[in-house]
A and B are shown apart, each in its own frame.
Chain A
Amino acid sequence: MATGEQASPPGLATRRSLGKRFRDAIAPILASKVALVGLGLVSFWVVVAIFAPLITPYGPLEHDLEAMNLGPSLEHLLGADNLGRDLWARLIYGARTILILAPLSVFCALAVGATLGLISGYFGGWTDEVVMRLLDAIMAFPAILLYLIIIFALGPSATNVVIAITIAGTPGIARLVRSLTLDIRTREYIAAAKLRGENPFYIMFVEILPNARGPIIVDAMLRIGYAVIAIGTLGFLGVGLPPPAPDWGSMVAQGRIYIWINPWPVLWPSLAISSLVIGLNLFADGLREETMRYQ
């Protein structure tokens, strides 16, 4: 019968293997040097955090009274703080907390924000107005003020830091997802889904969300960077993790008093925060550039 422009070179793999899928997924990262540099910085911190006990003989809370306020030495690679705690050990144990808390809080913000954004963009009308005005109200507060209000209300703890960052991050993500939804819902495959009588939540989460993932992932990478800064700031202000937990922000705060005697306890955590944030930013930038070029 009428075959038309049929084209299927025989022998073409019918199932995409897992390996190929993985290669497809990381192709944009490998293609961009910027993304690779970013990825390198981030994975450095991830690796040292995972293998912390193997990398350093000291614990983060161990005192070495002889090393108090000493600079880098063979024994203490990065020096020790005013209580004689090894800075390298505190740094990499600190990486552990921050690398759990930052992605976790962004993930929570993403779950709430994406849901609200999808609902707002898909239904439109009054639903949209109500949701967006409420989120605008949250956005009206400066982020740092919002963190402080929430944490003073709930008390300083790791969970509450996550809650604070989630609440502050939700409006931005919701706006992004809403605008993507507004575009995607006009596509014809959405009309086709409606014509199958699909329920709105299937359309939102299965038909729309996966096609918005590119910009959402890039945005999430940047947001993890901001979350790192936020956690650092809260730690510095003394409302983050309660001491003596190894927290980069509180390390800076403590070292600040002795900065003229021993600058190292301030320098190292500051460098750690900025290298992680810059790494995440570079990674996000590279990813954005490459995914855009793919389209």
Chain B
Amino acid sequence: MENIKTPVLKVENLAISYKMRRGEVPAVRDVSFEIHAGETLGLVGESGCGKSTVAFGIVNFLDRNGSILNGSILFQGQELQGQSEEELRRLRGNQISMVYQDPLASLNPCLRIGEQLSEVLIVHRGLSKEEAYEKCIEMLKGVYMPDPEAMMLRYPHQLSGGQQQRVVLAIALLNNPALLIMDEPTTALDVTVEAGVLDLIAELRREFDTTILYISHNLGVIAYVSDKVSVMYTGEIVEQASVEDIFLKPMHPYTQALMRCVPKLGESKESSYLPPIPGRVPSPMNLPPGCIFVPRCQYARQFCRQKHPELRQVVPGHFICCHFAEEIAEAEWQPPEGLVPDLTTRGRRENAAEAILEVEHVKTYYKQRGRSLISLFGLGKKQYVKAVDDVSLELPKGCTLGIVGESGCGKSTLGKTIVGLESPISGKLKFLGFDILAPVVKRDKRLVKELQMIFQNPDSTLNPSFSVGYQIGRPLRRFGKVSHNQQRKEVIRLLNAVRLDASYYNRLPRQLSGGEKQRVALARAIAAHPKLVICDEPTSSLDVSVQAAILNLLLDLQKEYDIAMIFISHDLSVIRFFSDQVAVMYLGKVCEIGPAQAIYSPPYHPYTEALLSAVPIADPCAEQKRIRLGGMVPSALNPPGGCYFHTRCPRKLGDICEEQDPPRKIAGKEHYIYCHIPLEELCKMGVVVTLPKDTKGNS
């Protein structure tokens, strides 16, 4: 019974550093935590804060240039530091399992699922092939894999992302490990799939009593899976407490700021303000002498700059790394003077009803080459990927339309079709009354100028060979916006508009952080004063604190330049926050469209309902209906007949859904639902997400 006393994993004063060309980088410093049997510790923090390094350090999987400088790692009371490679290998197979972000990278593409699963048992447990097979089938059933016998014979690429991650989980669990380390296991998955995997993890905790170290940057996911949470910031743990304490009574200024800058599901730009965290994460090579959070801390005092605080227990069970934790009251927090813009002006103006963009029955198909010999000679039946299939929508001037959906639903293709990077095969596209069916190369220059786009990946949005100034100046030269000698001045004005100063003019993209690159891309997009800007997941690869800053900036610029926007995202909370109108897409079709407010409250389209119920919410007290979609998203090459969603719809009526296209139901002012279910029944649906009434932050 001693087991209950000894924690499964106890990490003490762990310090890890990487050798780089510029010197030693202390990536993790003085990190201590313990996890007891059956417990889940969530390790949360923004990118580059060292959370993955901790996980790799525990199992000694650090890159060759990384080394553990100090500290001890006790696994079931046994020191792992200094163990031989052979001993560690045995432990990793039998006792400690790891699950990584990309399931496809963890599975061997040339082995069948069955071989990869049974290998674990055969190598580490010495089971015979037959015994192993039985066990594997059992385990696949355990992770709710449909048709496990058939799955055993498949190769990894024949599985969907969610199924692959299930297989990885099954492999990790086969040996019934004492400790499971999961590093962002659901980050690469869609929300509905993520919800399924998270449910599974929660169930495994109950059933197998597994101890889990769960690493994620997503506060919502952490709130859902963890018992205890450690918040990391540039290589140190700044706060550690139970999940309720962390989310309801955060005490460290960083944790508080982090919670504030994530839009909660249901908050909108009119109702709340996302205060970004000022400054940027310091480089571990160049840390401030006192508290590491000082440069960004609102409460910093002279004392904080001199002395580095220790992680100390302030309230029982609540550890904080701050000198003045007791004096900082979250409830009394006020945004700094003059920072909060007038929220009421951020919304849609009612008088601006005139449509700037009309999309009617637009279809964008990609030709797919057949694999048979006949199609090689061009004789085969032509197949099309129906990326955008009969979409109609309208966008009023100065308004924001949010397009939301899971990956592969055609939301990006729709955006590209509108700007002219893809050509639709049929339909009507009108912008400012002009026909814009032609691809961008054939459009009039004056029309090209009015339509700009902001992209997802900050690392490829700027040309690495040219300076910031040149790239922002290029559209000015192209469209002859300003005279040649005024150009530099105008570029600097644009830099200021995106809150960067003139010193950025001559910098190269590689000298910028992700958020800064996205700002420059934004400046480049608005340089020609476009009337419509399409934002394709502009904040998806940014940290939440940076995301808040970019969203605020977009809102400010939209108002200043009177730009209509199409905001494409998979994040329902961000979409709700940012948009006036929302379109929900599934498999190339719009299934629900309407004012943001209306989309997020009943009546819902069954798909919207399922999406909402899958969003991880950064509040352990939020009530959320549990609707989980089964099956896989059908291929857009060969979509099912009738309503495309019928194969996964939990509210499917019957044959009518399979045979007939769903009719458009008018659910309210400008709110349309494409579904066979009678409106009265849709109206009877309950609210999916209820946030506790007394949450703070709803200023």
Question: Could you tell me which A residues sit within 8 Å of B by CB distance?
Answer: 1-8, 10, 12, 14-16, 187-189, 191-192, 194-198, 200, 207, 210-211, 213
Which of A14, A187, A189 contacts B506 (CB under 8 A)?
A14
Q: Are B548 and A4 neighbours in the complex by a CB distance under 8 Å?
A: yes
Chain B: number of interface residues, binned into ranges? 35 or more
A12 to B512, alpha carbons, bound, how many Å? 13
A191 to B452, alpha carbons, bound, how many Å? 10
> What is the CB-to-nearest-CB distance from A144 to chain B, in angstroms, rounded to a whole number?
36
Beyond the given A4-B276, A196-B479, could you list 13 further A-B residue pairs with CB under 8 A, ordered by the A residue number? A1-B341, A5-B280, A6-B500, A8-B501, A16-B506, A189-B461, A189-B471, A191-B416, A191-B421, A191-B455, A192-B453, A195-B420, A196-B528
A180 to B552, alpha carbons, bound, how many Å? 37
Q: Are A3 and B457 neighbours in the complex by a CB distance under 8 Å?
A: no
> What is the CB-to-nearest-CB distance from A207 to chain B, in angstroms, rounded to a whole number?
6
Q: Give the chain B neighbours of A15 by CB distance below 8 A.
A: 506
Which of A8, A188, A197 contacts B441 (CB under 8 A)?
A197
Q: Are B455 and A1 neighbours in the complex by a CB distance under 8 Å?
A: no
B279 at the binding interface (Cβ < 8 Å): yes
Q: Are B503 and A196 neighbours in the complex by a CB distance under 8 Å?
A: no
Q: Give the chain B neighbours of A3 by CB distance below 8 A.
A: 276, 278, 499, 549
Main secondary structure of the interface of A (DSSP, over half): loop
Q: Are B513 and A5 neighbours in the complex by a CB distance under 8 Å?
A: yes
Q: Are A189 and B463 neighbours in the complex by a CB distance under 8 Å?
A: yes
Q: Are B464 and A2 neighbours in the complex by a CB distance under 8 Å?
A: no
Q: Are B279 and A2 neighbours in the complex by a CB distance under 8 Å?
A: no
A188 to B464, alpha carbons, bound, how many Å? 11
Q: Are A189 and B475 neighbours in the complex by a CB distance under 8 Å?
A: no
One digit per residue, 1 when the CB lies within 8 angstroms of any chain A CB and 0 when it does not, for chain B 503-519 equals 11110000001011000
Q: What 9 pairs between A and B have smallest CB-CB spacing?
A: A4-B549, A2-B552, A188-B455, A210-B465, A197-B448, A5-B280, A187-B460, A189-B463, A4-B276
Q: Are A188 and B457 neighbours in the complex by a CB distance under 8 Å?
A: yes
A269 to B498, alpha carbons, bound, how many Å? 63
> What is the CB-to-nearest-CB distance from B366 to chain A, in angstroms, rounded to a whole number?
14
**Known interface pairs A2-B549, A5-B513. Does A14 touch B521 (Cβ–Cβ under 8 Å)?**
no
Q: Are B515 and A191 neighbours in the complex by a CB distance under 8 Å?
A: no
Q: Give the chain A neighbours of B449 by CB distance below 8 A.
A: 197
A10 to B504, alpha carbons, bound, how many Å? 11
**Known interface pairs A7-B513, A12-B503, A189-B462. Does A194 touch B550 (Cβ–Cβ under 8 Å)?**
no
A18 to B443, alpha carbons, bound, how many Å? 41
A194 to B504, alpha carbons, bound, how many Å? 25
Closest B residue to A6 using CB positions: B499
A122 to B318, alpha carbons, bound, how many Å? 58
Q: Give the chain B neighbours of A188 by CB distance below 8 A.
A: 455-457, 460-461
Q: Give the chain B neighbours of A210 by CB distance below 8 A.
A: 463, 465-466
Q: Give the chain A neighbours of B465 by CB distance below 8 A.
A: 210-211, 213
B323 at the binding interface (Cβ < 8 Å): no
Q: Give the chain A neighbours of B471 by CB distance below 8 A.
A: 189
> What is the CB-to-nearest-CB distance from A189 to chain B, in angstroms, rounded to a whole number?
4
**Known interface pairs A194-B440, A196-B478. Does A6 touch B524 (Cβ–Cβ under 8 Å)?**
no
Q: Give the chain A neighbours of B474 by CB distance below 8 A.
A: 196
Q: Are B448 and A196 neighbours in the complex by a CB distance under 8 Å?
A: yes
Most chain B CB atoms below 10 A, which of A7, A16, A187, A194: A7
A1 to B277, alpha carbons, bound, how many Å? 13
A189 to B451, alpha carbons, bound, how many Å? 15
Which of A6, A8, A192, A200 contacts B461 (CB under 8 A)?
A192
Which of B279, B451, B478, B504 contacts A198 (CB under 8 A)?
B478
A158 to B279, alpha carbons, bound, how many Å? 62
Q: Give the chain A neighbours of B548 by CB distance below 8 A.
A: 2, 4
A223 to B496, alpha carbons, bound, how many Å? 47
Q: Give the chain A neighbours of B502 by CB distance below 8 A.
A: 14
B553 at the binding interface (Cβ < 8 Å): yes
**Known interface pairs A188-B455, A191-B453. Does A211 touch B445 (Cβ–Cβ under 8 Å)?**
no
> What is the CB-to-nearest-CB distance from B525 to chain A, in angstroms, rounded to a whole number?
8
B419 at the binding interface (Cβ < 8 Å): yes
Q: Are A7 and B504 neighbours in the complex by a CB distance under 8 Å?
A: no
**Known interface pairs A5-B280, A5-B513, A8-B504. Does A196 touch B463 (Cβ–Cβ under 8 Å)?**
no
Which of B279, B451, B545 contacts A7 (CB under 8 A)?
B279
Chain B residues 264 to 317 lying within 8 A of chain A, measured CB to CB, are 275-281
A6 to B520, alpha carbons, bound, how many Å? 12
